[in-house]
Structure 1
Amino acid sequence: MGVAIRTAGEGDRELIVRLLDEAFQDDPVSGWVFPGAEDRRAKHPRLMAAFTDIVLAAGRIDVTEDGSACALWLPVPADEGHDAEDEGPAQVREAVDPDNERVERIGRLTAAIHPTGRAHEYLWMIGVAPGRQDEGLGTALIENVLDRCDREGLPTYLEASNARSRRLYERLGFEPAGPALDLPDGPSMWPMWREPRPHRPA
């Protein structure tokens, strides 16, 4: 049986934030941004809320009908390059945790390695409820967009934040898009790119 997927709207904001918070509380990158467990429990939801608001405004969030998994996608135009003066990361830091420099740094570091020159879809985040992993929900969410990208001839890009997700993306056709991003005194992130595949009509 297939996974029912719909596009999230403003009314789904709290659901998406809660889902992302639960899914990424134990993620290595979230642990680097908020090293203390208590601090992470308190402030991590604010970071997920900031990301959710950005994508609701400028991209698309797909969610499974039962609310157990979601994927945040942003369309990136061909001419969008890294802007060292971009205020986005600083604004996120101000909204989430002004005293935590790592909230801003993670945004600037990932922006600096983001490929430029070709329009593509950017998988910013994908979250699956901790009790629902290994059910194929993440794969279904990603393939839902990859099918469209294949039809439209669009490549896709993401940064894998752990080895488990990296293996999933490799199975879906993503390949390394440069060296790993080694966070200062922290874990690695792996930029990955997928060229569109020739579309075969059903």
Structure 2
Amino acid sequence: MVKAAHETRKMIIDILTLAFAENKSVQAVCGANIRRVRRLMAYGYDNCAAFGRVYLTEDHSACALVLFPDRKRTSLKTILWDLKLVVKVIGLTKLFRVLKRESVIKSHHPKAPFSYLWFIGVDPSTQGRGKGSALLDIIIEDAAVANRPVYLETSTIENIAFYKKHGLEVTGEVQFGYKLFLINNYRK
């Protein structure tokens, strides 16, 4: 695993944009416009670099954005990031629908500190070679060392078996015109 640096930001955003371009949950936020998807990934990268962790494999073929929500702080910079997200990604017409969606999702988050696996992606040309599995194992291990459960959502039903294979479980689902599966290793 290499430490993500500003020099790898574009590469990480490229991988995640390709991996999530057709994701239902991402499209609910920014539509099918690839530039908006790219901007969403940049927003995620910036937040996770500031308030979480950005993972990148040694061969630069897989990456993940993990946020520590309890560490997130409001500043002029984060307000500007949020405004840019509204104007350049979500759009004013979808803003209240997206805010309501995010509120519903957050109502299912654990109350104690946790590691929010916001995005994990593998370069499509190298998928199926265990890169995502190895990366997820590291994320789960890092979270265990920090005594934080891992939490994520997916709208891609095919990914559920992948997460279950790594000890995560579906603990609920939310309907938004598509199913969003709530997945974690949180033990109450």
Same structural fold, with TM-score higher than 0.5 when normalized by the shorter chain: yes
Instruction: Output one character per residue of 1:128-171: Cα deviation in whole Å (capped at 9) or x when no partner.
Output: 11121111111111111211223343211111220122211111
Whichever residue aligns with residue 94 of structure 2, its letter is: E
1:27 counterpart residue number? 23
2:116 paired residue among 113, 119, 122: 122
2:42 paired residue among 38, 46, 49: 49
User: Rg bigger for which structure?
Assistant: 1
2:170 counterpart residue number? 176
Report the secondary structure of 1:112's partner residue: helix
Structure 2 length-normalised TM: 0.81
User: How much has 1:176 moved relative to structure 2?
Assistant: 2.3
2:76 counterpart residue number? none
Gaps of 5+ in 2: 73-78
Distance in 1, Cα, partners of 2:126 & 2:16:
13
Distance in 2, Cα, partners of 1:181 & 1:69:
28
Is 1:16 equivalent to 2:12 in the alignment? Answer: yes
User: How much has 1:118 moved relative to structure 2?
Assistant: 1.1
Over aligned residue pairs, what C-alpha RMSD do you find? 2.6
Is 1:113 equivalent to 2:102 in the alignment? Answer: no
Gaps of 5+ in 1: 81-86, 197-202
Report the secondary structure of 1:117's partner residue: coil
Q: Would the aligned equivalents of 2:63 and 2:122 in 1 still touch at CA under 8 Å?
A: yes
Q: How does 1:81-120 map to 2 (within 5 A)?
A: 92-99=85-92, 101=94, 105-106=97-98, 108-114=100-106, 115-120=109-114
Is 1:158 equivalent to 2:152 in the alignment? Answer: yes
Instruction: Return 118-127 or 186-195, whichever deviates more.
Output: 186-195
Instruction: Return 129-138 or 142-151, whichever deviates more.
Output: 142-151
Is 1:74 equivalent to 2:70 in the alignment? Answer: no
